[in-house]
Structure 1
Amino acid sequence: MPVADVLPEFASAFPFESFNAMQAETLPALLEREANVVVSAPTASGKTAIAEVAIAKTIDRGGTALFLAPLRALTNEKESEWDRFEELGYSVYVVTGERDLNPRRAERADVLVMTPEKADSATRKHDSSRYSFVTDVDCVVIDEVHLLDADRRGSVLEVTISRLRRLCDPRIVALSATMTNIDDVAEWLEAPPETTFAFGEDYRPVPLNADVKTYSHGENAFADKYRRLYRALDLVEPHLREDGQSLVFVASRQDTVQAAKKTRDELTERDIPIGARGDYDFHNDASELNNNTLRQSVLDGVGFHHAGLSREDKNLVEQWFREGKLAVLFSTSTLAWGVNLPARCVVIRDTKLHDPLEGEVDMSPLDVLQMLGRAGRPGYDEHGYAWVITDRSEADKYRRLLRDGKEIESRLAESLDSHLNAEIAMGTIRDLDDVLDWLETTFYYVRANNAPDRYDAAGSLREQASSTMRGLVDRGFVEMDDDLRVSATALGRLASRFYLRLDTARHFGDLADAAGEAELTERDILSAVAGAGEFDSVSARTDERDAVHAVLGDDRTDQETVVDVDLDSGQRKVLAILEASMRGTTPSELQSDAWVIRQNANRLLAALQAFLAEFDGARAANLARRIEARVEHGISDDAVGLTAIDGVGSGRASKLATEGLATPADVVEAGVEGLVAAGLSEGVAERVLDSARDLPVIDIDWGAFPDSIPHGENEMCEVTIRNTAGGARAGVRVTVNGVEMTSTETYLGEATLPVGVFGGDADELEFAVEVAFPERPIQPVVETRTVAVA
């Protein structure tokens, strides 16, 4: 069916001229009806075009379409692919994070692209001016709706769709790889039979032969990787000799590199003629790659692909694989989700993965099926071949998966309390009846009724809702009045805002409460984060434990903290990574997990900063903010305030601090000339100075403060605190001999505080005025005055 006949105004937005049979069958439902649509079809059968048809119809009517992509890496790819819509005058905007968000662009966009996590965040904040655009969405396209069954992420997608339907009731177009219970998804989304499509394997462009191969498991995990690699090469070798291409999925980024290196040697040993070293033009093209190892590898016909490569390198690898210049490509799971990169032969070498936060985990069945579905190149291969390599003890499990497929289950029950707390924090749930109404909008409700033997909640949803609500009240996240109306506490609102596990939020709340009676230390902050529930499953391998001890030195977890935190070996590893990161010297043994742990720790530090600001005060919140900046930049505490200046990272901050410029106020005072003398170019110096002027500079005027006071006398004085530069929220605190006299928090312009000078028993009174910024990593400004008691 020619695209130009169906959507003439959008013909140039499609990368082909005619819809295939599967796509054509869905067109009447998409274009002639308004009902929600659910489509289940084999991988690589062309589901993306269905999404594009739904988007075209929506924006042609002046509406806004939201595309939910399963991975962050794929959102940017869609932005690039959908330049075709931009060329027709429509705008495509990817929402990648709060710091990058341009609310005006998002509001004016015709097509929004997000991950489920970003959409969840946006819908939680829909009543703010920054995120109000989500309530204007007219159509939501869910790519890979079977993600509902994914650990942790599935419940996020489920509650986000339910929330969007309550907020703006958009049309839903849900796309999925083959799933056995598509009717449950259709029932949840209220898609009628005439707009629900289950396309079988006969719609697969290339028939698939899939099977399981086993290997002899040894005692050495490192050697086992190579046993599986040789098994994989045995499977791909016949296809390579027939000029067929192979895609091999492995567990980690580093595995893609090591497997590619070993494969180059092994293929040479087996005398398999692949590679393009004699191709002068390809040799020149390969020189454009940023990754040196990849540059050498592709010339031998072997590539690797993972999320850590630059976008330019990934694009070139994908292009060369499509063109047949690479015979073997090693990849992590990223390529399985959404990237159209089929191969004649697909092998899953690793069914177990090392997750920095979870330890060793089994690959998700959804990932397995998604990867195997990449086998078979339409237009090139008559059959696709796919294998899972696994230990003999697990072979039957994977054979059943290949034979029977995977029913999609709800994962909401696993985190029901957290999601219920979020709904209460938003104000969408006000009593128990609202809870039941909300549950009825979920996929969990459908599955619990249709498969009661698998769900403990079947027939007792009211009881479970009531029990979960009572738990939230008992733990301090929710308040309930005598009429059984509920509302979120400050603790509940913060837990929702920062996506915290509720046990972590409770722990942070306890720390903030305890901080009111004892001054927090750096160790208190780091131990609280390392001991968070989000890091419960982190494990420390044997070779890492010596590195952990070297970083921590003495056993710091045995030292007294404000709130007791008993860290196990995995959480001590987190603590060591955070301490090493602050110094910018992470040991090599800890680097493989350090990036993921730092990213999660910085999110938790930002949350803890907000908890401390809410329940303790600016001083403690500022300490957490400085630690967060130090973990991110790897910089000393005396220079960390410089990172508050736009354009100043760890390198420039260290350079300026070395020259005696340690604070934004120092930078402002130095001026362009002083910054140039400190080693910055004139252009950079001007930009840094402009940014520094946007930050607060504090001047403390003690007024007529006495130098001495007679014993038994008293005098009331006034101290004025002025901010002479950029505005900021600040906490102002006055102490005498270390005892707090007065404190206040304000958006600081100018504040005058009364200070009483009393001639008591002490021979000397030391007054201190401290100004701390809870949201900025700037060292508190402290000035003192000493008054003698005559």
Structure 2
Amino acid sequence: MKVADAVPEFADAFGFEEFNRMQREALPGIVETDHNVVASAPTASGKTALAELAICKTLSEGGTALFVAPLRALTNEKESEWERFEELGYSVYVVSGERDLNPRRAERADVLVTTPEKADSATRKHDSARYSFITDVDCVVIDEVHLLDSEKRGAVLEVTVSRLRRLQDPRVVALSATMPNVDDVAEWLDAPAETTYSFGEEYRPVDLETGVKTYSHGSNAFADKYRRLYRAIDLAEPHVREDGQALVFVSSRQDTVQAAKKARDEITERDVPIDSRGDYDFHTDATELSNDTLRQSVLDGVGFHHAGLSKGDRDRVEAWFKQGKIKLLFSTSTLAWGVNLPARCVVIRDTKYHDPLEGETDISPLDVLQMLGRAGRPGYDDVGYGWVVCDRADADKYRTLLREGKEIESRLAAELESHLNAEVAMGTIRDLGDVMEWLKTTFYYVRARSEPEAYGFDGLRDRVRDTLDSLVEEGFVAADDDLAVEPTTLGRLASKYYMRLETARQFRDLAERDRLTVDSVLETVAAAGEFDSVSARSAESDAVDRILDGRDTDLEDGHRKVFAILLAGMADATPSDLRSDAWVIRQNALRLLAALSEFLDRFSGPRAANLACRIEARLEHGVSREAVALTAIDGVGSGRAERLADAGLTSPAAVVEAGPEALANAGMSDSVAERIVEAAGECPRIDVDWGAFPETVAAGENELCEVGVSTAGGGAHVGIRVTVNDVEMTETATYLDGETTTPIGVFGPPDADELEFVVEVVFPDLPLMPVRASRTVRVE
């Protein structure tokens, strides 16, 4: 069946001219009906075309399609791939955590591309103007729906799809690699039998032979890596010698580079003829690579691929592998989930990986099957070969997986408390009856009915009721005698910031302390459950001890390491021993600090929130206390902030007052100096006008005065606190854009000679230092 005959309006949206057998069989159900669709098919059998067909049908009816990709890296890839839709006059927009959201573009998009996590976040905030676009979606395409079985991400996908169906009930098209219990997924999504497809291995374009190879596990993990590498090269070598290609999956970005380096030496020593040094054009093209190591490696026929490479380098590696110029490619699992880059031989060298937040972790069975599914090049090979290299103790586990496949399970039970809280916080659950109705929309409920003993189906309602009672008891949910429920401030904040509930409890407890310090804030963040699985390696202990020298902390092991990394990060002085995990830890800590700032604002007040905000900015930019306020200026990062602070300019107000010439004297170009002064002028600059405030007051007398507080720059949320002789009189929160007045009662106590009145203006969501102004009144 030709594409042009099946969908003439969208013939140019596909990268080929004819549909294959699997695509032809699924096409009528996707294009000619409005039913929900579940399609399970072997990796590399062409499932992407089914997604594109569903999108084409939606666009032809004037609707909006949402494509949920399993990895953030793949959202960018789809954006590039689907320029074909742009050329047909439709707009494609990626909504991901690494980009600033443009709500207008999202609202106008015809095709939205996102991840489960971002879709979850958007649906939680669907009633805000910023995320309202999510409720205008007419069709949701879930790529790799077997992600439901991921321990880390499965529950997020499950509750997000259930929530979308309750919000506006879009059409759902779910695609998956082969899974035994496809009917459970179909039941969950209400896909009828006629649009539930389970395409077996006979639909694979190339037969697949898989197996498990073991190695002798030693006491040295570093040496074990090389034992597995040599095993992988042994398996790949015969195919590479016969002009085939091999794809070797390793556990980390760094390992792709190290393995490629070592493999080049080994391939040369074994005299395997795979280099392309005689290809002059290829040699010239390789000089355009930005990664030096990759540039040297590809000429020897060996490459590496990971999400940390520049897009240009990744695109070239993929193109050269497809062209056969790269014969042996080392990659992280990203390639398995999205890029159509098959090889005659696939080897999984690493079945475990180091996660900075989880320690040593087994790769998921889903990843194993996904990787091996890349074996076999349609049109080139009759058979693909896939191997798992593992320790002898794990061999039977992987043999069973390869023989029997993997049923898709629900992972919601482990995260039931936080997701139930999120539903209450959104207002989609208002009483106990709603809770039970929500439960029935989940894959968890379907699997529990399908496997009642394994899931404890008979006790399911009691378990959910107990979870709700626990949320009430802990203060996340409020309930009345009529079983009606509503979110508390604590529950809303925990949901808004995607936090573990135990962490939310710890943040609330911190807000109730009388006095906060930088250390107490960072200790609380480091103690968060989000860091429970951070591993503290023995080689890192000296670096941690040096950073924490002189500090008294009860934190232990991984949490102690996190505390050290956060302290060092504020000073941009992270020791090399800690850098491998520092970036991930820092990113998670910044998210938690943003949440903590709002927790403190709600439960303690704007002064505490401002402290957390300044700590967050110091950690993000790695700047000193003196320079942190300068990071509020658009275009000022760590380097410029420190340079300005060294010149004695420590606030946006000081920068405006000094003018461009002072910044030029600090080493900035004239154009940069002018731009920074202009940006600093948009920051709030506070002035306190005491007006007719008296200099004296008679003992026993009192007078009500008004003090003006104004901003000469941009508006901001502020807290205005008035004290007299260090005793708080009033504290108000307001959005200051122009001027406001604060009433102050001036009184004359008989037992005091003078009174010091202080007006303090703090910024709960900006890293600006508090502004203080004082007046002394004599008592006569």
1:786 to partner: Cα distance: 3.5
Q: In the alignment, what sits opposite 1:376?
A: 376
Q: Distance in 1 between matches of 2:49 and 2:77?
A: 15
CA contact (8 A) 2:699 2:747 kept: no
User: Which residue identity does 2:516 align to in structure 1?
Assistant: L
SS across alignment from 1:556: coil
Pairing 1:520–2:516 present:
yes
Q: In the alignment, what sits opposite 2:688?
A: 700
Partner deviation per Cα, 1:266-287 (whole Å, 9 max, x = no partner): 1111111122233332222112
Q: Distance in 2 between matches of 1:658 and 1:299?
A: 48
Partner deviation per Cα, 1:58-106 (whole Å, 9 max, x = no partner): 0011000000000000001100000000000000010123971111111
User: Which residue identity does 1:747 align to in structure 2?
Assistant: Y
Judge which range, 304-313 or 755-764, deviates more.
755-764
Q: In the alignment, what sits opposite 1:486?
A: 485
Q: Distance in 2 between matches of 1:365 and 1:291?
A: 32
SS across alignment from 1:460: helix
Listed as ranges, the matches of 1:361-400 within 5 Å are 361-400=361-400
Q: In the alignment, what sits opposite 1:752?
A: 741
Q: Distance in 1 between matches of 2:136 and 2:289?
A: 42
Pairing 1:678–2:666 present:
yes
1:673 to partner: Cα distance: 3.1
SS across alignment from 2:512: helix
Q: Distance in 2 between matches of 1:305 and 1:98?
A: 20
CA contact (8 A) 2:31 2:57 kept: yes
1:432 to partner: Cα distance: 0.6
Q: In the alignment, what sits opposite 1:784?
A: 774
User: Which residue identity does 2:467 align to in structure 1?
Assistant: T
SS across alignment from 1:690: helix
Q: Distance in 2 between matches of 1:459 and 1:221?
A: 46
Listed as ranges, the matches of 1:241-256 within 5 Å are 241-256=241-256
Q: In the alignment, what sits opposite 1:560?
A: none
User: Which residue identity does 2:640 align to in structure 1?
Assistant: R
**Residues 87 and 776 of structure 1: is their aligned pair in 2 closer, same or farther, counting only changes over 3 Å?**
same
Q: In the alignment, what sits opposite 2:268?
A: 268
Q: In the alignment, what sits opposite 1:582?
A: 570
Listed as ranges, the matches of 1:310-709 within 5 Å are 310-456=310-456, 458-514=457-513, 518-557=514-553, 566-709=554-697
User: Which residue identity does 2:65 align to in structure 1?
Assistant: A
Judge which range, 663-672 or 172-181, deviates more.
663-672
SS across alignment from 1:400: helix
Partner deviation per Cα, 1:668-707 (whole Å, 9 max, x = no partner): 2223333333322233233323322221110112233444
User: Which residue identity does 2:471 align to in structure 1?
Assistant: L
SS across alignment from 1:67: strand
Listed as ranges, the matches of 1:690-769 within 5 Å are 690-709=678-697, 714-748=702-736, 749-755=738-744, 756-769=746-759
**Residues 238 and 656 of structure 1: is their aligned pair in 2 closer, same or farther, counting only changes over 3 Å?**
same
User: Which residue identity does 2:506 align to in structure 1?
Assistant: H
Q: Distance in 2 between matches of 1:233 and 1:247?
A: 10
Q: Distance in 2 between matches of 1:723 and 1:216?
A: 70
Partner deviation per Cα, 1:331-377 (whole Å, 9 max, x = no partner): 11111111111111111111111110011111100011101101111
Q: Distance in 2 between matches of 1:730 and 1:648?
A: 22
Q: Distance in 2 between matches of 1:556 and 1:208?
A: 58
SS across alignment from 2:458: coil
User: Which residue identity does 1:770 align to in structure 2?
Assistant: E
**Residues 98 and 691 of structure 1: is their aligned pair in 2 closer, same or farther, counting only changes over 3 Å?**
farther
1:762 to partner: Cα distance: 4.5
RMSD over aligned CA atoms reads 1.4
Partner deviation per Cα, 1:552-607 (whole Å, 9 max, x = no partner): 112431xxxxxxxx422100110111111100111001000011101100000000
Q: Distance in 1 between matches of 2:194 and 2:140?
A: 19
**Residues 376 and 737 of structure 1: is their aligned pair in 2 closer, same or farther, counting only changes over 3 Å?**
same
Q: Distance in 2 between matches of 1:101 and 1:446?
A: 35
Q: Distance in 2 between matches of 1:394 and 1:322?
A: 33
1:640 to partner: Cα distance: 0.9
User: Which residue identity does 2:42 align to in structure 1?
Assistant: P
CA contact (8 A) 1:638 1:779 kept: no
User: Which residue identity does 1:729 align to in structure 2?
Assistant: H
**Residues 302 and 556 of structure 1: is their aligned pair in 2 closer, same or farther, counting only changes over 3 Å?**
farther
Q: In the alignment, what sits opposite 1:232?
A: 232
Q: Distance in 2 between matches of 1:204 and 1:99?
A: 37
**Residues 99 and 608 of structure 1: is their aligned pair in 2 closer, same or farther, counting only changes over 3 Å?**
farther
CA contact (8 A) 1:714 1:759 kept: no
1:788 to partner: Cα distance: 4.6
SS across alignment from 1:140: strand
Partner deviation per Cα, 1:211-233 (whole Å, 9 max, x = no partner): 00000000111111111111111
Judge which range, 4-13 or 301-310, deviates more.
301-310
1:44 to partner: Cα distance: 0.6
Q: Distance in 2 between matches of 1:761 and 1:214?
A: 86
Q: Distance in 1 between matches of 2:68 and 2:108?
A: 18
Listed as ranges, the matches of 1:60-139 within 5 Å are 60-97=60-97, 100-139=100-139
Listed as ranges, the matches of 1:82-231 within 5 Å are 82-97=82-97, 100-231=100-231
Judge which range, 125-134 or 286-295, deviates more.
286-295
User: Which residue identity does 1:639 align to in structure 2?
Assistant: A
Q: Distance in 2 between matches of 1:585 and 1:731?
A: 33
CA contact (8 A) 1:709 1:759 kept: no
1:739 to partner: Cα distance: 1.9
Q: Distance in 2 between matches of 1:702 and 1:623?
A: 27
**Residues 243 and 118 of structure 1: is their aligned pair in 2 closer, same or farther, counting only changes over 3 Å?**
same
1:778 to partner: Cα distance: 1.1
User: Which residue identity does 1:758 align to in structure 2?
Assistant: G
User: Which residue identity does 2:212 align to in structure 1?
Assistant: V
CA contact (8 A) 1:762 1:789 kept: yes
User: Which residue identity does 1:153 align to in structure 2?
Assistant: R
TM-score by length of 1: 0.97
Q: Distance in 2 between matches of 1:376 and 1:85?
A: 29
CA contact (8 A) 1:717 1:757 kept: no
CA contact (8 A) 1:715 1:758 kept: no
CA contact (8 A) 2:700 2:747 kept: no
Q: Distance in 2 between matches of 1:763 and 1:368?
A: 79
TM-score by length of 2: 0.98
Q: Distance in 1 between matches of 2:242 and 2:81?
A: 32
**Residues 543 and 789 of structure 1: is their aligned pair in 2 closer, same or farther, counting only changes over 3 Å?**
farther
